[in-house]
Amino acid sequence: MKIIMLGAPGAGKGTQAKMIADKYALPHISTGDIFRANIKNGTQLGMEAKKYMDQGQLVPDELTVKILLDRVAQEDCKNGYVLDGFPRTIPQAEVLDEALTKLGESIDYAIDVDVPDENIVKRMGGRRACVMCGATYHIEHVPPKAEGICDRCCEKLILRDDDKPETVKNRLKVYHDQTQPLIDFYTAKGVLRTVDGTVDMNDVFAAIVSILGE
């Protein structure tokens, strides 16, 4: 089962992707995690990606496509996977579609987690991240045990540049301009399913399970 998660930044698609991966024993593939790992390790790819991410812009296709296709070709993806953060543009979707077609495969579901922009700005402004271990929190919904301190490694939590309100608004504009057309793309292929992302995350997940099946 090959699944693509769609939705604006902060819609909660990453959380849902992990829950889907756990339930159906599929690898959760997040380009964001791949980029952050490269940033943490100081690689050339990571530094280049960081320039775009810090400004709330999408990482260009040429930095993204190869690493993704290499990843889904690995052994643990033979029964499927959950893609989180890719594709983000029509050209990326077309490259993925072409690569899968050559393998005699295709995407089974594209799940759109739908949340209004104003909800997203508020959500992301409450996020906090640990620069040491990568753990993430939310000051309202998933607060750390001690304010501003990571539960896992006791390092200081920060509001990442890409979660600041001015950056979020720019990311949403980029999303609506470049990524939202994917909804039409996957609708035309007959695989798009939309769920309400404003409700409790467990209710969102229940709606997704009703689509994918037990």
Residues belonging to the active site: 13, 88, 127, 160, 171
φ, ψ (nearest 5 deg) of residue 130: -95, 120
Q: Which two tokens stand for residue 113?
A: 């987690």
- CA distances (Å), origin 33, targets 20, 28, 52, 122, 124: 17, 10, 15, 23, 17
Q: Which two tokens stand for residue 72?
A: 């889904």
Spell out the alpha helix ranges (H) of the chain: 13-24, 31-40, 44-54, 61-72, 90-102, 117-125, 165-174, 181-188, 201-212
φ, ψ (nearest 5 deg) of residue 190: 80, 20
DSSP 199: S
For residue 170, the SS3 value is helix
Q: How far apart (Å, rounded) are the C-alpha atoms in residues 150 and 146?
A: 8
